[in-house]
Amino acid sequence: MGLNPKIEAFLKEVNAHPISLELVSPEQFRNQARMQEDAPKQEVAKVEDSQIELHDRTLPIRIYRSENKTQPALVFFHGGGWVVGSIDSHDATCREIANLADCTVISVDYRLAPEHKFPAAVEDAYDSFQWIAANADQLGIEHDNIAVGGDSAGGNLATVVCLLTEERSGQQPVFQLLLYPSIGYIGEEPASLRENAEGYLLTKRLMNWFRSHYYRTEADRLNPYASPVHSELLHTLPPAAILTAQYDPLRDEALAYAERLKQVGVDVFVKNYDGLIHGFAGFTAEVEEAYQAVAEGAAQLKQALHK
C-alpha cells in the first residue's frame, strides 16, 4: 500500500528542508521540535502539572484525567530518541489516550541525553513508575491498576520498566502500550531498516545520531535496558499492545519483538498499519487512519484497565 496522501504531502515539505545532523546540536534540534507543538488538543476533565520528588532529583509530570474520580492509570514516556521531546510535545497524544481508554494518563519528563546518557532515562522511568504506584492514593489513581506505555524511545523505556520491575521486585505494570517502539534486533539488519532508511521522517542517520548521544559506548547497544530484545526475562512481561507502521525503519524489530513475546507466553496484540510512518500518533488530528490506529491501541489498554 502507498503512503497516506496527507502524510506524503507532509513528508514532501519536510524532505525539502533537511536538517544537517553534522551541524545541529541537541539543543538546536529541541528548539526546532518545540516549534511543532501546536497540534489541536482534545479537552479532558482535568490537567495538572506536578512533580516527582526522588532522593537526588525532581522530575516534572503532567496528569490528565478523563473524569474527576479515582481511575486506573497509564504512566506514559514520550518519544524523541532519548534526546528530544517533552511532556509538552506529547500533550495532544496523552489527552487522546486518556479519553479513548477512560483512564488517567501521567506523562513523565525524564532526563534527556546527551546531558544525561544511558541509563539515566531508564532509571527515571523505573523510579517514576514505582513512585507513582507508591503514591497512588494521593494521585487519585487505582494502586493495583497502573499500565505503562510510550512511543518510540518512550516505548523502549516502558517495556524496560517492566524488565527492571522483575529484577528489582517492584510493582509490575498491568499492561504495556507500545507505539512503534525502539526495541533492538538480533542478527542481521531488519528489512524495514533498509527499505525505510530515508525519506520517512525517522531516518537511519537520525537514529544513529540519537544513539550516539544516548549511549555511553557501543557496548550499550546490546544492553537489555537499551535493547530489550536481548533480555532473558521477556517471559515475565505483562500483556502488551504493539503498534507499528508500514513506512517505519523500526517496523520489523517491533514485529519480531512481538513474536518473541508470544513465543514465551506473553499475551500480545500486534498490528502493523499500512500507509503510516513512525510518529503517526502526532498526526491524528489530520489523518483519520492515524487516529484509528491510536484508538485501536487505546482500546486494548482500556480493556486491560477496565476488566
Q: Which three cell numbers, joined as nine digits, stand for 162?
A: 517492566
Which residue of the set 124, 127, 151, 248 is catalytic? 248
Other CB atoms within 10 Å distance of the CB of residue 293: 25
CA angle 114-120-124, nearest 5°?
130
- What is the dihedral sign for C-alpha 301, 175, 64, 28? negative
Question: Which of 187, 184, 195, 189 lies closest to 277, judged by CA?
Answer: 195
Residue 248 falls in the annotated catalytic set: yes
Question: Which of 177, 151, 213, 246 lies closest to 27, judged by CA?
Answer: 213
Which residue of the set 152, 192, 227, 231 is catalytic? 152
Contact present, 147 and 74 (Cβ < 8 Å) = yes
- Distance between the two ends of the chain, CA-based, in angstroms? 36
Which residue of the set 78, 90, 213, 278 is catalytic? 278
Distance of CA 172 to the CA centre of its chain: 18
Distance of CA 183 to the CA centre of its chain: 11
The DSSP symbol for 161 reads H
Question: Which of 122, 125, 124, 141 lies closest to 133, judged by CA?
Answer: 141
Residue 152 falls in the annotated catalytic set: yes
Rg, the chain, Cα only: 18
Q: How far is CA 113 from CA 73, 127, 205, 209, in A?
A: 27, 18, 17, 11
Which positions are annotated as active-site residues? 152, 248, 278
